[in-house]
Amino acid sequence: MTPQDQQQQNIQSVGGNTVREQDKIMLVLSYLGILSLIPMLTVKDSDFVKWHAKQGLVLGIAFFVISLVINFIPVIGQIISCLLFVGYVVAVVMGITKSLKGERWPIPVISDLAGKI
């Protein structure tokens, strides 16, 4: 197997975007809260990874800020915060899954804010 064949084997092409083997771990880190800074600051050659890192960072910050504010409301705030956490986990899992498939999944308000970074 030639090096070119091996490189082609390490690249998945799905939906027009390519997911390189070395980018997979960075795509997972992109949606893990503050860890999204790692791919944002270290990956220089992939706009796809940067896009997901920005979206994951904004998602994590938005979840943190909203849950912090909501937790000041007695009882109902904690219930809403738990539901918000479930929604956050679902969004993280969907983001990781879509990114590993080579898709960009714009989360409605989050991706607009991430585009401004």
> 16 falls in which pLDDT band (50, 70, 90)?
low
pLDDT tier at 23 (50, 70, 90 boundaries)? confident
Beta bridge partners of 19: 12
Q: pTM of the predicted model, to two decimals? A: 0.79
Task: Quote the mean pLDDT of the chain.
Answer: 84
Rounded-to-10 torsion of CA 38, 110, 99, 47 = -60
pLDDT exceeds 50 at position 12: no
| Three-state secondary structure call for residue 106 | coil
Q: Is residue 10's pLDDT more than 60?
A: no
Residue with tokens 């904004």: 58
Domains of the chain, by residue range, sit at 3-114
The model's pLDDT over 26-38, given as tens digits with 9 standing for 90+, comes to: 999 999 989 999 9
Please give the DSSP secondary-structure letter assigned to residue 32: S
